[in-house]
Amino acid sequence: MNDVKRMKELIAILNQAGKAYYQENKEIISNFEYDKLYDELSSLEEKTGTVLSSSPTIHVGYELMTSLEKEAHASPMLSLDKTKDPEELSAWLGEKEGLLSWKLDGLTIVLTYENGQLTKAVTRGNGEVGEVVTNNAKVFSNIPRKISYRGSLVIRGEAVIPYSIFQKMNEEIGDVDSQYKNPRNLCSGSVRQLNSEITAKRHVHFYGFSVGDVEEMEFHNSLEEKLKWAAGLGFDMVEYVKVDRHNVQQAVDAFAEQIKTFDLPSDGLVLAFDDIAYGQSLGRTAKFPKDSIAFKWADETADTHLLEVEWSPSRTGLINPVAIFEPVELEGTTVSRASLHNISVLEELELGLGDEITVYKANMIIPQLAENKTRSGNLPIPEACPACGGETKVKDENGIKTLVCTNEFCSAKKIKSFSHFVSRDAMNVEGLSEASLEKMIAQGYLKELYDLFTLDQHREGIIAMDGFGEKSFENLMRAINQSREPALANFIYSLGIPNVGLSNAKLICRHFHNDLQAIRNASVEEFTEIDQIGPMIGEAMVSYFHTPHNAEVLDELLHHLHFKKEEENSEQQILEGKTIVITGSLQHFGNRKELKEKIEQLGGKVTGSVSKKTDYLINNNKESSSSKNKKAKELNIPIINEEDFLAIIQK
């Protein structure tokens, strides 16, 4: 393959990954792989003397896709050149002194103060144009709203959510599938909210890393003095140490030790010249300023041998491969296993037992396989499920191969049934994780759904389980007892009937006036009389209630439950028969759940995707190029904003 063709391949991969990261807040390849491909592209560009116009080495970020107001930066916000070698930092610094600080992993923000007041906050955006988030910045947890300096001041910094707050928020959510994936994504979504009340609840913090030109102040040409002055105004500035070329390695080692317990998300360090004039005299390249450089943690790798692949059944029926290898030390801990994600990854690596493999920790945390040096490709795919012995099947969806268990009654799937039953929108049993359910199922304490309400008979055994004790047991019993009086719609939803989500359960319960016996005895035709309930859901309901085993489970459950008496909805059902889809950020409603509840209260139904049956798509950005907007326009479905919606329901 010639060099230019390879460059085009690399550019396509890197740009796709960059778009996913900056626009969609998700990672489709690891940092390790991205840096490896980026470095390969840079080397080829240097070798060939050719830089293509679409290369990520000369472009910063992507176009913005939100309804926030846009604003151009007074000067471009460039990326930093980077290295993973501390010796390169020493060579870069030369005989100068520098400041070595954390490179925080959040959302870059530019704050502007005039006459002591915060007047503007703009995100980095694509480096040239950002989004105005002033109202949200005013509710950051640690930001000065008023400062003593009365001139014009520009502070650049990083908005982040500390790990301690991130973990606490996830603990409150409970449902694993609904939890936030990482602090960076949560922070980005929080800062770019259209409702500042939501931002305030997320406890976003701001840490400054640079200060613009300041009139009538003397900093003796020292960046350190400038940062100290800003800190004196009340800003939390990014932690740094002063270094020279002799002690950079020592300082990097100290930061690396500290990151193990550091509460702020960080993906490396930044080294900047303390001599401001010297740094400015170096100018900049098309993409990088020359007064500072980023240091990214070099992913520590280790060579080892693959011992086996463990096939791990999940609650969804997927059977996920996990690599088990000879233990190695990485980032100060011993690791011996790493997820392989799916069969496609396994095949791409051409894995075989005994192969020599290279492993690393992505972001110094998650063990991953970097490469397979042997590539024997002799690994068999199991034909039987490890959990139940049922037949397995390889599924191929969009080029991604996965292994699934075909047994409807697989024990691994039973965990899914219980997990759904106790989830927040179902029976809402707080503090009962999937891990705990799995242990209780393995011990035989939970066989059928009604066993949940007799767990007190296994007090001693549960208290002896890992992660439990007297207090945990008492809390669990309290949560179970509190769940004994559900709303009927939540109970119907908890049963896990195919295609019956909470919205459909509410429609059904409303139609049958919350009479469970009437619902159990209803025919398919009676269900389809309900607007928005079709034959598929009707057949699923009838099939569920007429299956003898389900009927027995239901009868036993009813011995333990007392349903809340629902007040008949007195509001005019002006949205009856209407199907609505919600997308994008909200301003008048706190979140989508709040808007969804309002729609259901007025007789409407909320679904997750646009189809011919959709009556309205609610999106405050009517001109968005999102897939939902495109689909709505193709089908001539009205796209309305919140103001339009409020006007409709207030007629």
Any residues with CB less than 8 A from the CB of 340 and at least 6 apart, and which?
A: 309, 320, 321, 322, 323, 346, 349, 351, 369
CA distance linking residue 124 with residue 109, whole number of Å: 6
CA distance linking residue 73 with residue 122, whole number of Å: 8
Token output for 275: 């001599």
List of long-range contacts for 502-508, beta carbons under 8 Å, 24+ apart: 502/425, 503/596, 503/600, 503/605, 503/606, 503/607, 504/532, 504/533, 504/537, 504/605, 506/600, 507/531, 507/532, 507/533, 507/605, 508/533, 508/541
Token output for 297: 């943690």
Q: Let me know if 586 is exposed, middle or buried by CB neighbors in 10 A (0-12, 13-18, 19+).
A: buried
Any residues with CB less than 8 A from the CB of 589 and at least 6 apart, and which?
A: 595, 598, 642
Of residues 237, 234, 222, 210, the one with CA closest to residue 116? 234
Residue 427 and residue 494 in contact, taking contact as beta carbons nearer than 8 Å: yes
Within 298-410, where are the H helices?
Answer: 343-348
Paired residues of 330 in beta bridges: 333
CA distance linking residue 222 with residue 279, whole number of Å: 11
CA distance linking residue 541 with residue 518, whole number of Å: 12
Residue 271 and residue 99 in contact, taking contact as beta carbons nearer than 8 Å: yes
Sheet of 301-313: strand order equals: 333-339, 319-330, 301-313, 356-362, 366-372
Q: Angle at which helices 183-191 and 163-173 pack, to 10 degrees?
A: 90
Q: Looking at 19, 36, 84, 103, which residue is catalytic?
A: 103
Q: What is the DSSP string of 358-388?
A: EEEEETTTEEEEEEESS----PPPPSB-TTT
Residue 146 among the catalytic residues = no
Any residues with CB less than 8 A from the CB of 559 and at least 6 apart, and which?
A: 450
CA 224 to chain centroid, in Å, comes to 36
Catalytic residue numbers? Answer: 103
